[in-house]
Amino acid sequence: MFIVDAHLDLSMNALEWNRDLTKPVAEINAREVGLTDKPDRAKAVVSLLELRKGNIGLVVATQIARYVSPENPLPGWHSPEQAWAQTQGQLAWYKAMEFAGEMVQINDLDSLEKHLNLWEDKTSSAEKKPIGYILSLEGADSIISMQHLEKAYQDGLRAVGPAHYGPGRYAQGTDATGFMGAKGQELLRKMEELNIILDATHLCDDSFWEALDHFNGHIWASHNNCRALVNHNRQFSDDQIKALIDRGAVIGGAMDAWMMVPNWVRGKSDPKAMDCNLDKVIDHLDYICQLAGNCLHVGIGSDLDGAFGREQCPYDLETIADLQKLEDLLAARGYSPADINNILHENWIRFLRNAWK
């Protein structure tokens, strides 16, 4: 079945992790054997080849660059201008992949329909088809001014998450508290004017509710799970999930193990020992479906290789191509073929068609 994955940090892996994503995952990992600069070295699960193998033909692909003030202990850039430059390097990588025929940017209804028709054509092999990507910005710190947001839109940016981890220039994110304020509200107004999708992922509770109050455009949550199942501020409360459902949002199930199962200890817990498998992400999707009363507001936003690898993802997933296992797992849980179709791709596609019509 065709799959849409609404959150992959492809350019971060290419430029910061120095991974050649045109190579097989095994080759990427072999080149990292012995490296210790990052905890997920030699444990990657994502490459463009594996996306094709898994029939994951459309993804939401990120740019990401955090600005940090002197008192902020998180890793990041020391000025918004440096952060902007980092995102421009990431954009250049996506453009290089387009030039090589590996990827194609999807930024309006025409390009979406053309791409879906290409992947629906069974007469040509998926091995030859480009991966479609919708450009998203995870954390808006790199947006120096609203003129920079306009430039980013012209370059294809179609979704923005105002915050990532910690305090941000426009909103407060995971593990932080506080509101967006005048600067954040200005960002929301410009996003609405440009028809840029608001990604509610990572917004702290205060900023989340403020964003919903001040933004009248299209909202999704590319990669977020349920606080009722794993109690952490990174997850959505029932009230937040219901508010997103009321706004027509789609919420993508994330596959970072600490978000999937309770009591995970980063750097110590093991997926197998914690019984963290693909069924656990279905638990989160099912919880949202029960709140909604239907299967129209969930999808996949895996976040695989989002600064973690096989040490911190479902143990029954060797590479991202194993997302295909979800079809049978959902069927075993009683989901109908129509429900599975919606969850694995149609909900995201319907959302985009409505946003871009």
Assess whether pLDDT exceeds 90 at residue 126.
Answer: no
Residue extents of the structural domains in the chain: 4-356
Question: What is the pLDDT at residue 123?
Answer: 82
Distance of CA 169 to the CA centre of its chain: 21
If you average pLDDT over residues 143-162, what whole number do you get? 98
Strands 131-138 and 157-161: parallel
Question: What is the pLDDT at residue 122?
Answer: 84
Question: What is the pLDDT at residue 124?
Answer: 79
pLDDT bucket at 46, cuts 50 / 70 / 90: very high
Q: Model-level pTM? A: 0.98
Spatial CB neighbours of 138, under 8 Å, sequence gap ≥ 6: 9, 62, 63, 64, 161, 164, 199, 201, 202
Query: Chain-wide mean pLDDT for the chain?
Result: 98
- Measured CA to CA, the distance from residue 208 to residue 171 in angstroms comes to 9
Share of the chain above pLDDT 90, in %: 98
Question: What is the pLDDT at residue 125?
Answer: 78
3-state secondary structure of 67: strand
Q: What CATH number was assigned to the domain covering residues 4-356?
A: 3.20.20.140
Question: What is the pLDDT at residue 349?
Answer: 98
Handedness of CA 329, 334, 340, 343 (dihedral sign): negative
DSSP structure class, residue 85? H
Of 67, 48, 70, nearest in space to 59 by CA: 48
Handedness of CA 301, 306, 309, 313 (dihedral sign): negative
Q: Which two tokens stand for residue 86?
A: 């980092």
Helical spans, DSSP H, in 136-277: 146-154, 181-194, 205-214, 238-246, 257-260
pLDDT in tens, 188-221: 999 999 999 999 999 999 999 999 999 999 999 9
pLDDT bucket at 19, cuts 50 / 70 / 90: very high
Assess whether pLDDT exceeds 90 at residue 239.
Answer: yes
Assess whether pLDDT exceeds 90 at residue 127.
Answer: no
If you average pLDDT over residues 256-285, what whole number do you get? 98
Assess whether pLDDT exceeds 80 at residue 28.
Answer: yes
pLDDT in tens, 64-122: 999 999 999 999 999 999 999 999 999 999 999 999 999 999 999 999 999 999 999 98
